[in-house]
Structure 1
């Protein structure tokens, strides 16, 4: 009898261990490295995210693939540097380009393995129907097609002339978002939809992608959180986003799915610093959104999977959002995309093997296709380039942006991130051998992906999706 029970329990354990994990991926907009209380935020608390970190692993050297909305999202979903798939910058509402439907996304790979796939939040990979999430592997979509400042109330409306902003459900435009009161519905509505998706798909594996539009400006919080922080509306927004994460985690636990769900929390790029008190903190790293400095691309990142990912752990290994796709593919047994990707799987490191160093090199591209910096281990070489700087003028306040230099001339520089994570001390002349090594990495990158600054096209870039103007 004891032997029979032992066999039965063993079989149950094997079945549980072989069951495909659910995946919940939070991708927060314009969240700075220092915007969680676990990473040093002041004036408000993020207890649910702090608890997530306590129950999982916090990655302190985790890079967005590019420090701007559309490019960063394309990289996350395809496992490629965004310039490889033809995406750059932040696509406008009337753009005729988007992520090419021929590209294989995380959603498509997991759907082929029997996963239900849903996205609730901001898409920003093309607003024409040909490019919307249902054409990129998702079963369900409810959210906004692009950044919610691309609307008639934008501070630069006279230059931009943005059209009205709408919610989209699957492929159909719905309710217009007309004012800040309606912006305040973004976080609670997305949370409600995400929770409903979990309830509906509790009996099958699912991939839930939650790209929250906030704290990208304009900021708004629901009545439940408005005025609750010591840091004004920005703190209120972060408290509500933390609540959202908590509600989704609570639903996982309620449905008995908590133990078999991998939760990933990260951001698309750093804070939009010229918005002052309506922007977050880069946590002491240099610059912010739209730059190739660490403040633009190093993101707060937490991953939790009880019993699989070590709890209360910190990993300082270099990783990027492009590494998520191949890692999920290996965890789920999904096939990798047919076309070349740039991501490197880090399953062993994720599960606690700190002897593994999956990624040693990283490329910092920006603008259309400009290679602005390269990195190997903790050495970072900046190439001379014109770029955004927040440090040459004072920030704005109360939702109005301060001036920003978009063509500040940055000189060639070498930084040792082990002792200078703020990128303040140029040690170029002290380490010519390191410079030479990093230059070789850059040469290979330019051959592969090109470099506008050196007028090199690159051999292995693919076409962006394009629709005909009607």
Structure 2
């Protein structure tokens, strides 16, 4: 009898519970440095660049010591991150032009689903801040690829030159050693509109940070995604007045230490707004250091070579994941992972199924981040343009084609048999052990053939120029 009297009172509560909205999905912030080397952070072993905020981020979260970019140069690397797919699948890798330029005709194709478009399905607020480099014409800009807002530069900070090419052979080395804003006519865009030209690159990291902090505060009551792609430490190097001439590492150190400050501001804002435990923040780099610029380029640490190559220094990049309450503090993982894994990770976080009409090369990192799995992938591909130059499986890496650093005139070499390195024993790739392990070489060759067979030819979107 008592139950009969109580049930009518409980029924509305039961119905309300059944109609309760699903829990708010986590926020996501990706902080993407440009040309930052594997050895350029304190937490990754640099002796003089001071990065206290990134060091603390690693201490409070997870340091990924075997994390890879999708490519070793700007445009394809960014395409891989935002689509979860090898850039060669979308035409965003080329053997004729390695990146997009201000005279490029095309950009990221509309049919590619970006990370922002995945998260829009769960009503995320989405912002792209910083360097885009996936097409500068209006139809290719971030607001046509799932982002609500955009503030940043449409391509690299060394483009739209008003002086001769600023490389090591420039008539005036001060062009890049002591750069002036007027040497580059790079625009800053707000959505589709140019709001500043040339960009004041001295203050650009500070302004990117202010944009990110404001977006967090504005959207604190709904899920949000921020893709903040710093323009630096890509050459030419600029720092704000507060950081200029302050680092023992010189101008490169000034720039990295300002990026570290930026990360600290963003994490502090999340804490202040009570959002830290519901936000995954990932910090990494688009590729390795640009070694051609000596002390104005970064360090790959113990890794071989740098930007533009498929040696470890070209694609293995520093990475830190921070998610208080989900990632155990002080975690260090040696599990291989890539920037292409971030889209499937975001989809899993948000509960969004991925389309089945395309191949995804990324896998969700959630089991790794939560401590539920020791590793989530075995294979890591290393492409240069459209060609598979190398492939890693477990600790083994085979080089099918080798080529030296970006802007080196040395052409490709095809070793026979492919070179083989045991990366756990030899991360610097100094000791070719192919002759001792022919069965491992054969297995990696077979894996490479399977991967190549899964990639149909698509039109090259980097080579066409305006007016062609």
Select which of 2, 22, 36 maps to 1:31.
Answer: 36
Q: What RMSD, in angstroms, separates the aligned Cα atoms of the two structures?
A: 2.5
Aligned mates of 2:408, 2:382 — CA distance in 1: 21
Contact 1:84 1:462 in 2 (8 A): no
Equivalent residue number for residue 327 of structure 1 = 345
Residue 346 in structure 1 maps to residue 362 in structure 2: no
The equivalent residue for 1:177 is 198
**How big is the shift at 1:42?**
2.3
- Cα 1:293/1:157, change in 2 over 3 Å: closer
Of residues 116, 126, 130, the one that matches 2:135 is: 126
Q: Distance in 2 between matches of 1:241 and 1:266?
A: 12
Q: How many residue pairs are counted as aligned between the two chains?
A: 431
CA displacement at 1:354 relative to structure 2: 3.8
1:65-464 matches, within 5 Å, as 65-88=70-93, 89-153=98-162, 156=165, 164-177=185-198, 182-337=200-355, 338-355=357-374, 357-367=375-385, 369-385=386-402, 387-389=403-405, 404-407=408-411, 409=413, 411=415, 412-449=418-455, 459=456, 461=458, 464=461
- Secondary structure at 2:306's aligned position in 1? coil
Distance in 1, Cα, partners of 2:459 & 2:373: 35
What is the Cα deviation at residue 405 of structure 1?
Answer: 3.4
Which residue pairs with 2:66 in the alignment?
A: 61
Question: Aligned partners of 1:297 and 1:154: how far apart in 2?
Answer: 30
Q: Per-residue deviation at 1:244?
A: 0.5
Distance 1:407 1:256 in 2: 53
Q: 1:223 to 1:163 in 2, by over 3 A?
A: closer
Larger radius of gyration: 2
Off by >6 Å, runs of 4+ in structure 1: 157-160, 465-468
Q: Distance between the aligned counterparts of 2:49 and 2:118, measured in 1?
A: 38
Q: How far apart in 2 are the matches of 1:106 and 1:307?
A: 24
Name structure 2 gaps, 5 residues minimum: 1-12, 171-182
Gaps of 5+ in 1: 1-7, 391-402, 450-458
Instruction: Provide the C-alpha distance between the structure 2 equivalents of 1:16 and 1:212, rounded to a whole number of angstroms.
Output: 36
Cα distance change on mapping 1:171 and 1:310 into 2, 3 Å: same
Question: Does the 8 Å contact 2:24/2:222 carry over to 1?
Answer: no
Separation in 1, partners of 2:311, 2:55: 26
How many angstroms apart in 2 are the aligned matches of 1:325 and 1:408?
32
TM-score, normalised relative to structure 1? 0.87
Distance in 1, matches of 2:162 and 2:212, equals: 28
- Report SS of the residue matched to 1:388: coil
**CA distance in 2 between partners of 1:422 and 1:468 (Å):** 41
